[in-house]
Each structure stands twice: as structure tokens, then as C-alpha cells.
Chain A
Amino acid sequence: MIGNIIGTWIAATLTIAILSFLYRDNPLYKLAEHLYVGVSAGFWVIYTWSFDVKPMLIDRFIQATGVEKWVLVIPAILGIIMLSRWIPKYGWISRIPISFTVGIGAGLGITASIQGFILPQIQATLLPLTTINNIIIVIGFITTIFYFYFSREHKGFLKVGSRVGIIFIMVAFGASFGYTVMARISLLIGRVYFLLHDWLHILR
């Protein structure tokens, strides 16, 4: 119980400290900012040790037997090599684990993008032009592609298409920005709700 009260007071003080920046930069804001950076750095050190290095490398190395045990040496070496970036003379060695990571990422990402994004999205765009919504989707799709077609100068039909395309792009940006505004206001609502409800107990 006392832990909750102390936690709430700390959270409320830090919320006010961060929001105080809206008035002007001040020592209280700086304190909260530095505290956040320090706590985050500390957290990620603990996190990397507790969730990655210890359970996935050290504990498994102790528990595993035979080939499975010694296979773990490979990622361990790759991980250590990654640290060579700190020594400029030997920094180039870090490209080996980076290329390994990029290779895996690209392999997984390319197949997933094609299978899970590009093909289903194209399929969902091949629509019969029987409803207004379908017509808008098809026109928006084609004209947006026109806009991003840079191999020929945008003249004539291509110019008209790309102009229509940019309207669709702007509408998409507007919708996205509108949602972003809503999200940011939601965060403010969340903080004000916390201050009024959890800290000051004005809201019941």
C-alpha cells in the first residue's frame, strides 16, 4: 500500500516535471529527463542480461550437451566480434556479424513481405468496379502508382494520373495525421486522468 502511494507521488511529480517544459525549460524538467535516460539505460542493461545473454546463451550452454552445446559458441563469438566497433582499427571485423544479421533479416523479411503483404494487398485491390468504394480503391491504387513512376517525365496522361494520385496521398496523410493528433491528445487525457484520479483522488 505504502509502495503504491510512493509510486503514485513519484509518477505525479515526474509527470508535472515533464509537462513543465511546455512553460519553459527548467531544472525540474532537466532532472526528470536525465532520470529517464539513466533509468532507461539501466533497464536495457539488465534486460539484455536477463532476457538474452543469461537464459539464451549462458544457461543453455550449461544445460546443453554434445553438438548443441558447442553450436552456441558461434553466436557467442559473433556477439563478441560485434563489439570490435569500439576499436577503430579492428572495426571492420564487426561487418561479419552484421552481414549475418542482415542476411537473416532480409531472408525472413522478403518472404514475409511477399507472402503476407504484397500479394494479399494486390489481391485485395483487384476488385470488380461495381461499387463506389471499389472504384475509389482501384483509382487510388493506380494513380498513386503513377505518382511514383519516375522513369518517364510526367506529361499528358501520366501527369493527370499523378496529379490525381497526389490527392489520394494527401488524403491518406491527412487521415494519418488526424489519428496522430487523436493519439497525442489521448496521452494528455491519460496523464490528466492519472493526476486527477490516482494522485489527487478528485475523480472517483
Chain B
Amino acid sequence: MSWLTKIGTIDRRIIYGLVLLAVAIPLLFKMILPIRVSEPVMMCFNAIDRLPQNSVVMISIDYDAASEPELQPMLVAVLRHCFAKDLKVILLGHWALGLPLGEIALNQVAREYKKVYGEDYVNLGYRPGYVAQMVGLGREIRDFFAVDYKGIPIDSFPFMRSVHNYNDIDILFGLEAGATGDAWVQYAGARFNQKMFFGATGVVAPDYFPYLQAKQIEGIIAGLQGAAEYETLVKQAGSAILGMPAQSVVHGLILLFIIIGNIGYLLTRKKK
């Protein structure tokens, strides 16, 4: 059996092992690669950066633990940007399992910036029926979120008293792992002209780029690379910047496998 034939029959567990090593080694050695900020991420950064103090940012947690590695670093980076700019943050979510992740990030970053719950940020939690909610938020937020996630009336929070509908929300940031972002664009964006930008997993990001091209969203942070770019912009390295070298090494490895596999396939086919 020639080495070319052997390549074609290589045990896939060896490939899994190599991929695991390609991920673990760059993490262990804390490799850092330069991050070039792309235009869609820069547009998101600028959308937040040009907001005046005390503007209201609504963050929608539309993901769960399965997308945490990609979307959680984005959430943390955007929250850092918001709190550094003294913006007010309203967190809510349409994926019930993702809300605890939102709460973890919100509390962590709020502590870093010494922000006070109810004065600088609130967590409205989860309510079912996202389409009805998105349409209803155009009228009155209290129809769906009269109380926060702990059951405290939102009118007891000073900055929430002046928030009633999309007119009072300066920008919406949706963290998307599915199709909830489509609904944000089609209901909040198209009907109420709500400005928004998305952080999306790599799987769904290609579905959201047409919205960016059509100027229906302000920007898009796509995948772990996008998260690393935003971390670069807020000048605080997190798990995305640390993860990107591993990502690059694995991509190189996959390309190598594809090339070797194809050479092996072409040569063995020639022999036949």
C-alpha cells in the first residue's frame, strides 16, 4: 500500500487528535496574532461610539450555551464599550436558556465599571412570543415588561421611566444564533425604523450580511473573528483574541488536509 493510499484511509481519530492539539497548543502558549478590524465591525463600534452620554442601548440575548464561545465575548466587549461611554443598557432575551449568560456578562462588566443596577442598566429577562413582543415594543414596553427579571416594577428604575417604545431606544444590539435577527429587522426595523446592529455566530452571519448591504442594519460582528475585532477596538483582550490563533492554526490544518486528501485522491484515481 503506497503512502498515498494510506493517506486516503487514515483513521479519522488521528485527524480529531491533531485538531485538538491545534486548538490546545496555541491556547496553552497564549499565542497572539495581529487582528485587523473589518469594516462591518468598525461600523458597529462607530454606531455605539457616536451615541451621546445616557443614550439607551437595548441588548437582545438571542442565543444559548451552544453559541457561548462566539457570542459571549461580543456581549462582554460591547457592554464594556457601552459602560465606558456611560450609556444606559436594557438587557432582554428571546432565548430562555441564554438569559443566564446575559446576566453573567452584565454583572461582570457592571462591576468592572462600578455601574448600579436600575440606574445604569436593567435586565428585563425573558417573555415568550417574540414576534408579538417586537411589534408591541413599538407601542409600549410595559405591555410586555412591566417588571424586570426579578419582578421589580420597571418604573421604580429612574432611567426606565422615560423609556416607552422604540423612539426611546437609541440602538438595538441583537446577539443572534438563529433567525430571531430576521424578526428584529422585519418588525422593529422595517415598521418602526429602529436602528440596530448584530453580533452573529459564524453559522448565521452569512444570512445577515444582505441586511448590511441593504443598510437595514448598522453593522455586523461575525463569529469569533468579529468578537476578537471588537475586543481589539475596546482595547481589552478576552477569550476571542486568545482563541483566534487556535482558529487560524486549525484552519491551516484543515486546508492541509484538503490539499493532501485531494492530491491522494487524484493520484490514486490516475493509477486506476
Interface residues of A (CB under 8 A from B): 22-23, 43, 47, 51-52, 56, 108, 112-113, 115-117, 120-121, 123-124, 137, 172, 175-176, 179-193, 196, 202-203
Contacts and interface: CB of A to CB of B under 8 A. Distances in A.
B239 A179 contact: no
A22 B16 contact: yes
Contacts of B250: 185, 188
14 contacts: A23-B16, A51-B128, A120-B216, A179-B206, A179-B222, A182-B223, A182-B247, A183-B224, A185-B250, A186-B223, A186-B247, A189-B69, A190-B69, A193-B27
Given A116-B191, A124-B214, A181 B27 contact: no
A191 B205 CA distance: 21
Nearest to A195: B24
Given A23-B13, A120-B214, A179-B222, A193 B186 contact: no
Nearest to A186: B224
A32 B190 CA distance: 43
B191 to A, nearest CB: 7
Interface in B1-47: 13, 16, 19-20, 23-24, 27-28, 30
B128 A52 contact: yes
B254 A181 contact: yes
A116 B27 contact: no
Interface string B112-143: 00000000000000111001000100000000
A117 B210 CA distance: 10
A188 B190 contact: no
A188 B253 CA distance: 15
Nearest to B222: A179
Interface string B47-87: 00000000000000000001011100000000000000000
B243 A176 contact: no
Contacts, number: 122
B203 A179 contact: yes
A191 B23 CA distance: 10
Q: Which 5 A-B pairs have the closest CB atoms?
A: A190-B69, A116-B186, A183-B202, A116-B190, A124-B214
B200 to A, nearest CB: 9
A127 to B, nearest CB: 10
Given A123-B214, A183-B223, A188-B23, A193 B190 contact: no
B223 A188 contact: no
B247 A185 contact: yes
Interface centre among A51, A56, A121, A189 (most CB of B within 10 A): A189
Nearest to B188: A116
Contacts of A47: 96
